[in-house]
Chain A
């Protein structure tokens, strides 16, 4: 069994990205980190200002045990670069559930700066590169389909699809 797999992540664009509460003027780029020490960097966006567009595809090697990827929007400064916003993306947003493993997910996340304050939005798409032997769909997970009985009492704790992650990870 291999210890990693590949995610094809397209960093599409950012919206309303700010640095020190002011709109970013230019040269924003994105760093994607898995929980190992590996990271991936996009090119700088020259013309988009606070609405940068990258449309850049990166193949990210994911360690099997990873639960999150981190997406950072950074900005070139005179002395190097500064992280202006970060989003933590749980893998459960696109791994598991019923959809085919190679499904193309379009995902957007709120960025937060180092003080935890809201910044803009990052748009990405993610597709898992599934080895041939594992690509059969796991449609038959033992989740009860009966719609009536699952919910009891006034509190609803969730819906099967999103808590039915397979034991793979």
Chain B
């Protein structure tokens, strides 16, 4: 058992994989916020999801008994290929099975993770075969269901019921038929952490059903120390099971050959450790000593003290979404003349009669299809800028739908329709000003705050070029950094986007306004669409990777909690 720990500088490395370091995925250059969060023990984003399944009204394919269903879960890649995530056990003789096997999957906010579930009836002759060895084409297919992970996790009960479909071929035609329903439940694995601080090197293990302890974490090695005090270790509740689950804490004497000597151990739950901490009492270690054929626990003089104990809840992005915090999506499209005449095929605004989307349409679809899952009402404010509406002067923020009163459109389709009709109704002009659009988005965000809303806004700006009002844009962004707003900028076409990189404060200085105010957090993410054409990372992934962090920074600095 001791052989697994041969590193002298053990540090706080956790066997179970919980990192205690401040894991900031974005390097957002904001020491104020980072420091603030760090001081409160916030770490990086976790969203490991555990999926569990049940089904009802399955097709009955067995003659004498009912079906023996098995479920196989797949992730669908962007290329449409299916990758198997795992299989459940076979439930015998049931048309309404609840499977015990669960599958873990990492929820990535920025990707539409399509999951496909197939249910098979496993013939009796295969029941002695291990499920992962089963050839699925030898089994009876009962149906297939498709769902998107973000749809499941954003349901308030985190359960989504899907129709099981199978193809029926009769007299040469193929029909899709529904038969039965599949319910997928998603449980987030990690959402709270517990910290304990104690004292040569300790290994904390959890005890599972068969009695063999599984190491969860260990402390650093204190050299030549009879009264060691170890650095705090971090355990999360999910790792240990519950506060009352028994944990074995073993104290080893480190040996550089890897054969560490057990000094003694205790068996305590987290709740017991908490009591030890509050009572300031020590707990005597015991050492199992062989007596004849049995072991006798010899109680030692050495004691274990719990110096620090605290629990903290770390709400994740998903906690906020499930807790009623909505994302609201807004879009603004660049109609400046530098895009080229929309009637000519070389224009970035050219609507191809073949239906092939232009760069603007691609950006709307790609970003929109991800964000709309998180936007409950799917009504999106949509604007255009840098064009002359019929008979009017150049406008730097006009409603895309042509209305003079309301800017909202229905769904991504609504943005697409408003976009194509706006192309027919405005004449492209200039210059390229972002200030008014950002100002309007900020206005909507602050009005929502005034109405007591718990919303976070995301403005997508799609543009072909260089901003004319760089300082004014910075001023607007600095002011907006105090509001529940993030701005995604997609650059299309071949222009020089250096200034956009300045706005996306990732790489350099924090944005500063003309009056000397500095952005209190990074709210801008810029990605040129050309960078990713044919590349590995999709534009959406690049764009949205920062959004959960920007969102959490806003919520956590203000101590805003999700609804339970």
* CB neighbors of A among B91-132 (8 A): none
Q: Beyond A152-B393, A153-B393, A156-B436, is A100–B472 a contact (Cβ under 8 Å)?
A: no
Task: Answer whether residue B339 sits at the interface, using C-beta atoms and an 8 A cutoff.
Answer: no
A98 contacts B479, CB within 8 Å?
A: no
B35 within 8 A of A: yes
Contact partner of B483 among A90, A99, A156, CB < 8 A? A99
Binds A, one of B171-179, B359-367, B442-450, B524-532: B442-450
Q: Do residues A98 and B443 form an inter-chain contact, with CB atoms below 8 A?
A: yes
Q: How many A-B residue pairs have CB under 8 A?
A: 123
Distance (whole angstroms) from the CB of B425 to the closest CB of chain A: 12
Stretch of A21-29, A33-41, A74-82, A159-167 on the interface side: A159-167
Query: Does A103 lie within 8 Å of B449, measured CB to CB?
Result: yes
What interface size band does chain B fall in? 35 or more
A83 interface hit (Cβ, 8 Å):
no
A98-B446, A106-B32 known; A55-B39 Cβ under 8 A = yes
Name the A residues within 8 Å of B405 (CB-CB). 146
* A161 adjacent to B443 (CB under 8 Å): yes
Known: A153-B394, A161-B443. A12 touches B32 (CB 8 A): yes
B410-445 vs A, Cβ < 8 Å mask (1 yes, 0 no) = 000000000000000000000101011001101100
Binary interface encoding of chain A residues 56-78 relative to chain B, with 1 for a CB under 8 A from any of its CBs, else 0? 00000000000000000000000
Pair A146/B404 contact, Cβ less than 8 Å: yes
Q: Which of A98-149 contact B (CB under 8 A)?
A: 98-100, 103-110, 112, 121, 123, 125, 137-139, 146-149
Q: Which of chain B's residues has its CB closest to A141's CB? A: B450
Given contacts A53-B35, A90-B515, contact A151 B397 (CB under 8 A): yes
Q: Are A15 and B399 in contact (CB under 8 A)?
A: no
- One of A15, A104, A108, A151 near B396 (C-beta < 8 A): A151
Q: Shortest CB–CB separation between residue A14 and chain B, in angstroms?
A: 9
Residue numbers in A under 8 Å from B469 (CB-CB): 156
* Residue numbers in A under 8 Å from B31 (CB-CB): 13, 15, 51, 123
Q: Are B517 and A148 within 8 A (Cβ)?
A: no
A53 → B minimal CB distance (Å): 6
Which of chain A's residues has its CB closest to B440's CB?
A: A147
Inter-chain CA distance A123–B518, complex, in Å, is 9
The interface residues of chain A lying within 8 Å CB-to-CB of B518 are 108-110, 121
Which residues of the partner chain B approach A55 to less than 8 Å between Cβ atoms? Answer: 36, 39
Most B C-beta atoms less than 10 A away, residue of A94, A121, A139 = A121
**Is A148 within 8 A of B36, CB to CB?**
no
Q: How far does the Cβ of B440 sit from chain A's closest Cβ, in whole Å?
A: 6
Chain B residue with Cβ nearest A103? B449
The reply to whether the CB of A87 lies closer than 8 angstroms to some CB of chain B is yes
Which listed residue (A97, A103, A159) contacts B435, Cβ 8 A?
A: A159
Q: A87-B516, A156-B435 are in contact. Are A151 and B483 (CB under 8 A)?
A: no
Q: Are A162 and B479 neighbours in the complex by a CB distance under 8 Å?
A: yes
Contact indicator per residue, chain B 484-528, by CB within 8 Å of chain A (1) or not (0): 000000000000000000000000001010011111110000000
Q: Which of B126-166 contact A (CB under 8 A)?
A: none
CB–CB A104/B404 < 8 A = no
Q: How far is the CB of B523 from chain A (nearest CB, A)?
A: 12
Choose among B39, B389, B450 the residue that contacts A148 (Cβ–Cβ < 8 A): B389
Hey, which chain A residues are within 8 Å of B446, CB to CB?
97-99, 161
Within the assembled complex, what's the spacing in Å between the Cα atoms of A101 and B33?
22
Q: A98-B447, A110-B512 are in contact. Are A105 and B439 (CB under 8 A)?
A: no
- With a cutoff of 8 Å between Cβ atoms, the chain B residues found around residue A13 in the complex are 31-32, 35-36
Chain A: which residue is nearest B429 at the CB level?
A154
Q: Which residues of A contact B510 (CB under 8 A)?
A: 108, 121
Assembled-state Cα–Cα distance A12/B39 (Å): 11
Given contacts A159-B440, A161-B442, contact A106 B399 (CB under 8 A): no
Instruction: Indicate if B383 sits at the interface (CB-CB under 8 A).
Output: yes
Assuming the contacts A121-B510, A156-B469, asked whether A12 and B404 have C-beta atoms less than 8 A apart, the reply is: no
Minimum Cβ distance to chain B for residue A90 (Å): 7
In addition to A106-B481, A138-B450, A151-B436, 12 A-B residue pairs with Cβ atoms within 8 Å of each other are: A13-B35, A94-B482, A100-B449, A108-B519, A108-B520, A109-B518, A121-B32, A156-B396, A156-B433, A156-B472, A159-B443, A162-B439
A sample of 14 cross-chain residue pairs with beta-carbon separation below 8 angstroms, ordered by A number, consists of A53-B35, A55-B36, A99-B446, A100-B452, A106-B558, A107-B520, A121-B32, A139-B447, A148-B395, A148-B399, A156-B433, A159-B435, A159-B436, A160-B439
